[in-house]
Amino acid sequence: MQDQDLGLYREALDTFAHLLERAKQSEDVEPTAMTLSTLGKNGRPSARTVLLKAFDERGFVFYTNFESHKGRQIASNPQAALLFLWKHLDNIIQARIEGTVEPVTADEADTYFASRPRESQIGAWASKQSATLDSRETFDQQIAFYEKKFEGIDVPRPPHWSGFRVVPEMIEFWYGAEFRLHERQCYERVNGEWTKRMLFP
């Protein structure tokens, strides 16, 4: 990748970092919340909200149960789209990211898992995410089981729990304005090189 092309990618990441920091200083309750869209084998899209846990030039990271609905969809089709919506800046701003998905390293997953509250660590073991649950009592029993199992010791990371990294192929910023006179800036990797263009709103 040429320095100029990498420079455009860094420009996009710097813009994202600036907007995210502004959102953290605003009234947004969850500025790192993002809509994650994936595609099932039947071609039907699926979307849910997850939290961004890290980002750098390698991509945008979130953590989940690999046996969940989204985990299975990503395993069969490692493509995803992310959407951030920040409502409490000067104007409403959206950041859209599309790209391929890859797992984070075991070391990254271990480090993040160790930083989580113990209750969340227990929950990662107790929850068979996206599977049918016959009653809340069953879930509570699972929580109690793992609390006892790991009593007095550090909770290890479950083998089915880790992180995904969305490696961007496209990053778009949408700046809201009155009368639909919005501004859209699109960074996209085309034939291995990053480009930048404006889009009609």
Catalytic residue positions, numbered: 180
Q: How far apart are CA 182 and CA 170, in angstroms?
A: 19
DSSP H helices, the chain, are 3-24, 69-76, 106-115, 118-126, 136-149
**Contact (Cβ atoms closer than 8 angstroms) between residue 56 and residue 102:** no
Chain CA centroid to CA 123, Å: 19
Q: What is the DSSP letter of 1?
A: -
The whole-angstrom separation of Cα 81 and Cα 85 is: 13
DSSP for residue 200 = -
**Listed residue (10, 181, 170) closest to 91, CA to CA:** 181
In three-state secondary structure terms, 29 is coil
Place of tokens 């500025």: 31
